[in-house]
Amino acid sequence: MLSQYLSDSSPITWLVLLVLSAYFIATFWIFVYRIKILNSRIAIESQSLSMLYMGRSTQSLDNSIFYSYMQRVQTLTPEILQAAVGDTVRSATKGLTQLSIIASTSPFIGLFGTVVGILEAFGKLGSQKSVSLSVVAPAISEALVATAAGIFVAIFAYAFHLLLKRKAYELQSVLQSQADILISKMQSAKRVQRDV
């Protein structure tokens, strides 16, 4: 059935399905790539945070984002820590815009393919002398394949967008907690130096 649909389709329908296929591949590529990065970063930062909470460390672990900032900057300030959090979250959320665009545009691309398919179906049916439901229904159902494909792609893109957004929020929360602890430790160290 699908092969017959594709053989009867116009170049515009082929183009619509090709674009939706590219969207589908891009959706999964962005998700798999980003989820690996986010999960890895969350695991590292969570470990660093737990070491700070338990008092086993006075600074972030050497594989933490904050450690690299501490090495580059002479004096660590709350502003620098906030910049580190913002920079890390910004780089971790790359790809969310593309997923959002795919989720919002793929149904419209599919709908465009359906409209073109229905126009072609009615054009073909208009040249026939007698038309019945058994002739019209298959032509319209074939045209609706593009809309179904667009919605199918949008579901994955939207779901992956929300999952990555949640992971990015989790990363931001862990980083913010670390920054708060480091700021607290810096302020405590300054008070001790003043009292001495």
Average pLDDT of adjacent 10-residue blocks, the chain of 196 residues: 63 88 96 94 88 75 78 76 86 91 95 87 74 71 86 96 95 90 77 69
pLDDT at 171: 93
Where residue 95 falls (left for φ over 0; alpha for ψ -120 to 50; beta otherwise) is: left
pLDDT at 152: 96
Q: For residue 35, what are the contacts with CB-CB under 8 A and spacing of at least 6?
A: 163, 164, 167
pLDDT at 2: 59
Cα end-to-end distance, the chain, whole Å: 84
Cβ contact 66:179 at 8 Å: yes
pLDDT at 195: 67
- b (16+ CB within 10 A) / e for 124-146: eeeeeeeeeeeeeeebeebbebb
pLDDT at 19: 95
Q: Virtual CA dihedral for 24, 91, 172, 80, nearest 10 degrees?
A: -170
pLDDT at 100: 95
Q: What is the DSSP letter of 120?
A: H
Residue ranges of alpha helices (H) inside 93-144 are: 96-126, 133-143
| Domain residue extents for the chain | 2-195
